[in-house]
């Protein structure tokens, strides 16, 4: 298998369009503009990139960012082996050479000194300097950079610099409307529509608590988990508590409120 094939998505990922994001993304890709996907966790950002990579038939290289990540983790490093030192490209460099869509997931997690290595790739230069190796990699014509960003986690300590932000176009993501989300849950968990709709109702109650003791509402991802637990034979109330309440908060009052909603809706 070639490197190119290794990163191609061969089967169509299930993705339900929520707004006009497909057309907008395609236009951005056509001009190879960098794209930032903004939105809460578990609302479909990653699934969307997978879907677009499949649709465009371009390889996709995903990097889950974290605070321990260094620039070398992205661009590459020298390794020692029996013959001496050998350079190994990091995922960003592989994507740059190969012409892949490089998706940096949860980029706020990375330290700002790590994030700046993407700058020269985002403007007209489209280059990646490998300082340690003394090489300037010219991006393949198909290369595109995509990052995801959760505005909810914004804090003064942890935010992307304006100088980074302003190198991207952006798409807003949010939880889908009720009917769409019900369909997604039904499809992803193979639960019937009626029960899926109930799960979505619970999420709507919880999302109203955002800012009133909850940092973030119940994600579509958690709804899918709850559906899968019910499909695995767990009582809906128990499944709701396991997938929709406990992961979200340890605050006893909010838990009680959410447990109540689960019991009312499935009772
Ligand atoms: N628009 C959508 N179409 C299909 N599935 C979706 C959609 N939005 C969310 N999902 C479901 O929610 C899960 C979490 O989505 P994901 O893309 O991983 O979220 P994010 O990257 O925003 O945290 C997916 O695995 C999928 O089951
Ligand atoms: Mg994601």
pLDDT surpassing 90 at residue 212: no
pTM of the model: 0.94
Ligand 2 centroid distance, CA of 42 (Å): 6
**Nearest atom, ligand 1, residue 14 CA:** 4
Rg (CA), the chain: 21
Tokens of residue 244, six digits? 């929709």
Looking at ligand 1, which atom is closest to the CA of residue 47? 17
**Token code pair at residue 145:** 């950079």
Q: Categorize the per-residue pLDDT at 210 as very low, low, confident or very high, splitting at 50, 70 and 90.
A: confident
- Which ligand lies nearest the alpha carbon of 45? 1
CA 177 to mean position of chain CA atoms: 19
Evaluated on CA atoms 220, 224, 227, 233, the torsion sign reads negative
First to last CA, the chain: 53
Give residue 190 CA to ligand 1 midpoint distance, Å: 15
Residue pair 56/48 in contact by the 8 Å Cβ criterion: no
Per-residue confidence at 25, pLDDT binned at 50, 70, 90?
Answer: very high
For residue 161, the model assigns a pLDDT of 84
Q: Which residues sit with their C-beta closer than 6 Å to ligand 1? A: 14-16, 18, 39, 41-47, 176, 184, 188, 220-221, 224
Which helix (H) or strand (E) segment holds residue 257: the answer is helix 252-266
**Average pLDDT in the 132-143 region?**
97
In Å, what is the CA distance from 178 to each residue of 143, 157, 185? Answer: 36, 35, 11
Distance 93 CA to ligand 2 centre (A): 21
């Amino acid at each position: 298998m070639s490197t190119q094939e290794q990163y191609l998505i061969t089967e169509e990922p299930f993705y339900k369009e929520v707004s006009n994001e497909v057309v907008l993304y395609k236009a951005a890709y056509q001009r190879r503009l960098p794209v930032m996907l903004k939105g809460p966790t578990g609302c479909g950002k990653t699934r969307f990139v997978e879907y677009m990579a499949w649709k465009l038939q371009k390889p996709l290289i995903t990097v889950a960012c974290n605070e321990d990540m260094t620039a070398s983790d992205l661009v590459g490093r020298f390794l020692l082996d029996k013959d001496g030192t050998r350079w190994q490209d990091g995922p960003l460099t592989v994507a740059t050479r190969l012409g892949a869509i490089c998706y940096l997931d949860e980029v706020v997690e990375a330290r700002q000194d790590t994030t700046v290595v993407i700058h020269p790739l985002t403007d007209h230069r489209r280059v990646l300097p490998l300082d340690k190796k003394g090489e300037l990699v010219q991006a393949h014509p198909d290369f595109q950079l995509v990052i995801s960003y959760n505005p909810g986690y914004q804090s003064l300590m942890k935010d992307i610099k304006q100088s980074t932000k302003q190198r991207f176009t952006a798409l807003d993501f949010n939880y889908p409307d009720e009917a769409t989300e019900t369909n997604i849950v039904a499809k992803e968990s193979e639960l019937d529509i009626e029960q899926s709709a109930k799960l979505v109702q619970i999420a709507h109650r919880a999302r109203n608590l955002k800012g009133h003791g909850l940092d973030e509402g119940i994600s579509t991802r958690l709804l899918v988990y709850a559906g899968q637990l019910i499909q695995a034979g767990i009582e809906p109330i128990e499944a709701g508590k396991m997938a929709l309440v406990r992961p979200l908060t340890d605050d006893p009052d909010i838990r009680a409120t959410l447990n109540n909603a689960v019991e009312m809706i499935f009772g």
